[in-house]
Structure 1
Amino acid sequence: MRTENSVYVSMTDVENPLSAASPQAFSLDDAEWPTPEHYVLAMQFEDPALRAEIRSALDPQQARKLVKRHKRKIRNDWDSVRRIYMTRAIYTRCLSHPASARALLETGDKRIIESSLYDYYWGRGRDGRGPNTYGEVLMNVREKLRSATAVSSPSFSSQDPNPPG
């Protein structure tokens, strides 16, 4: 059910600056990441070599294939930390790319919904029962960006010690 008080985003839409797959590079954890999706996929693993391999994948689709190939090596605590890593990636990307921050702020007070029919964690899934975690991450980052602009100028500091999460 779509409403006018909502914004629908696909995490995999490379054309949308709010998507985790949007190719807007940023630096985080002493590395340059091509997309938030690359970062989050890599953080599923503790092995630095595997993280580097995922980071250097040509696109998020190739990075996801690498994850599937190594799924037995996914860190034990992943379910409890994945939202934190996604939040860090999206927030840092917004700090690095003012156009992404602007696009997120322009959603106003609308509810942001990840529109995947198949993802019951990041999205709501086909039946709408999923928690819409990606939408929640975007709305939390939006609030953090609003707080940052209320305190300082519209140019955000990438040295913010308190990313949302």
Structure 2
Amino acid sequence: MRAETSLYISMTDETNLLSAVSPQPFSLDGAEWPTAEHYVLAMQFEDPALMAEIRSSLDPQQARKLAKRHKRKIRSDWESVRRVYVTRAVYTRCLSHPESAQALLETGDKRIIESSLYDYYWGCGRDGRGLNTYGEVLMDVREKLRSVAAVSAV
């Protein structure tokens, strides 16, 4: 029997501990964030008032709508820094919520794929040729958690 080599997840599945919208609050950059999605959406902007409004949105969907309404104000370097912000959010969330870190570590060596049909940057896209950046971030954080655990064990 062959083990599955890939794990498909959705960034928008609130019940999955690896999802960006999983309700696992964490502190980062001097503020408390309800989800990784709230943090990443707010980091698209430089206006502190808009960032605070996104952070205080009731849920990730409301935060997303608010960010879309202000898309003309997205910082000019967003394309080059967005992966860094997602990585920071996921890693910090894992440090704040051991069950999230454990869920990520339990994926073993599986390739994690964000199964969005429409997103070719964060997900795999309809034809599977997307960049799968969210899946790559999860695998990077998994490696970081493993190396930190290995150093602590010594």
> Do they fold alike, i.e. is TM over 0.5?
yes
Within 1, Cα distance between the matches of 2:73 and 2:36? 21
Deviation at 1:17, TM superposition (A): 0.2
Query: What's 1:71 paired with?
Result: 71
Letter of the 1:14 counterpart: E
Deviation at 1:152, TM superposition (A): 1.0
Query: What's 1:88 paired with?
Result: 88
Query: What's 2:99 paired with?
Result: 99
2:85 aligned with 1:51, yes or no? no
Match of 2:75, SS state, is: coil
Deviation at 1:105, TM superposition (A): 0.1
Q: Spell out the pairing of 1:1-165 with structure 2 (5 A cutoff).
A: 4-152=4-152
Q: Deviations over 1:85-126 (max 9, x none)?
A: 000000000000000000000000000000010111000100
Within 2, Cα distance between the matches of 1:44 and 1:77? 9
Matched length: 151
Letter of the 1:54 counterpart: I
Letter of the 2:109 counterpart: D
Q: Deviations over 1:116-163 (max 9, x none)?
A: 10111000100111110000000000000000110115xxxxxxxxxx
Q: RMSD value over aligned CA atoms?
A: 0.9
Within 1, Cα distance between the matches of 2:43 and 2:130? 23
Letter of the 1:92 counterpart: T
Given the two structures, how large is their TM-score scaled by the length of structure 1?
0.90
Q: Deviations over 1:5-56 (max 9, x none)?
A: 1111100000000000000000000000000000000000000000000000
Within 2, Cα distance between the matches of 1:128 and 1:79? 21
Q: For structure 1, which runs of at least 5 residues remain unmatched after alignment?
A: 154-165
Letter of the 1:79 counterpart: E
Letter of the 2:86 counterpart: M
Identity of aligned residues (%): 82
Given the two structures, how large is their TM-score scaled by the length of structure 2?
0.96
The structure carrying a bigger helix percent of its residues is 2
Q: For structure 2, which runs of at least 5 residues remain unmatched after alignment?
A: none
Within 2, Cα distance between the matches of 1:62 and 1:11? 16
